[in-house]
Every structure is written in C-alpha cells, then in structure tokens.
Amino acid sequence: MTTIQPTGHNIQANGIRHHFLRYPGPGAPLVLVPGITSPAITWGFVAERLAQVFDTYVFDARGRGLSSSGPGLDYSLDAMADDLVAILAELKLENAVILGHSMGARIAIRAAAKDDSRMGRLVLVDPPVSGPGRREYPARLPWYVDSIRLAEKGMDAEAMRAFCPTWTEEQRALRAEWLHTCYEPAIVTAFEGFHTDDIHQDLPKLKVPSVLMIASRGGVIEEADEAEIITLNPAIRSTRVPDAGHMIPWDNFDGFFDALDILLGTSFGKK
C-alpha cells in the first residue's frame, strides 16, 4: 500500500487559527474531528487509510496541536461546534462526511444541530453520553492532567506506557511528542463539559444521516445508552467494534474499518 503524505495547513475561521492535515483522496471530503487530547497528527495512521476512499482532513481542535491556544479563548462545546461549521464554510466543502471521535463526536452532534448545510453524514465514534443528571464519564480528569504536565516537562514512549499500556511504542512516542500542545485549561473545560452539556437534546434535531460506532469495552456507551440514542433519533444506525476500548482504532484497527464498511457501505476491509 502506498503511503499517503499529508500536507499541513492553517486557516482563519470563527475568529481564530485552525490547523489541519490533509490526506488527499479520491472521494468525498471527510473531516475527522479528534477527541479531547488527540492532536491531528496522532490520527495520521487512521487518516492514511481513510484517504483510500475519502479526501481526508484532520483538525486540531482549539487548544490542541497547532491551532490557536492559550488564555482568553472560549473552549466550550458550542465554540468548538461553531468552529466546525465555520471551517466547512471557509474550505467550501460540500456533503462532507464528519467523523468525530469522543469529544469530536459531541462537537459533530452540536454542530449539525446548529447548521448541517455542508454535511453529508455523521459518523459518531463512541461519544461520551454523560451529561446533566446522567452517570459520569468513565475516565477521570487526573489521567489527562497528569500526563499533560509530564509531557510539558518532557517524556518519552516508555513514560507514556503508564497511561497507554496497550499502545505500540510508535503510538506512545507520538503521543508523548505532541501531548504538551494540549492546553490544560482547554482540556479541563472540555472534560467538565462532558458532564454539563446535554447532547441528548441535540439528537432529535439531527437531519443529516448519522451512524454510531461503539467500543465493546470501556463503558462509554452501554446497551441502555445505545437504546436511548436510537429512541431519540430512530434514523441512527449503530454497530459495536469487538476487542476495542474507547480508542477504537488503536485497539482494533481493522475492526474500526470493518465497522465503517457496515455503517457507510465502504469497502475498506477488501483493500
């Protein structure tokens, strides 16, 4: 398989700088919105394969990677959803597939509820279903904060093993290299938002075709949560990925793409 080399870009949208990596592909545009502490480059191994089918864009959310960061910015879910809407408009993308993982899936849901005019479909990968009056997100804030503070001082793949024991050395090294770009107040705000923002109110508003990918392990989306989501929006189709925790492609790379084949009708499994 030929390795697809990304190009890096910066654009101005919603009043700030957004950095993204583009993995050019033959098909429709796909915008990948990563999770709470995942700079765009850490999704490169996934984006390379996505680019076999889609023209793939991977963004650094504000406060992460090479996008605008620091004090004075709004790091709320609404601000990040407005970013996504503005990015699609600035790049003049049409019928874009929005693939959001974890926090990125919540961003996609809120953005589509606001303005889905440039979206073709949503792929929601294991979004946290915590919120007001609901059970807590299973991860704990110190896991993020402690690792970020170590990364700010400088850490290597071996030190990252304590936080990501099942990852490969290459994956841990890349996270160790880039985690310091995750601005701690942005991460704290997003984590708190997992418990104060109600994405369930947005689900009935989704008009764009939407699918849900669920990790078989990790407890982010339990069977009752899946049933509630489909009750709120019966058009949503779902599938579970076996042998995978919340970071699905890190745990079961082929299973992630098999799930996309089921949900999107693609043929990644045959490539």
What residues are annotated to the active site? 102, 222, 246
Q: How far apart are CA 87 and CA 178, in angstroms?
A: 23
Exposed, middle or buried: residue 68 (CB in 10 Å: 0-12, 13-18, 19+)?
buried
Q: How far apart are CA 173 and CA 215, in angstroms?
A: 24
Residue 30 three-state SS? strand
CA nearest to 179, candidates 163, 194, 192:
163
For residues 6 and 22, the answer to whether their CB atoms sit within 8 Å is: yes
User: Which tokens go with 204?
Assistant: 């009935």
**Paired sense of beta strands 7-13 and 16-23, if any:** antiparallel
Helical ranges in 115-217 per DSSP H: 141-153, 157-160, 169-178, 184-196
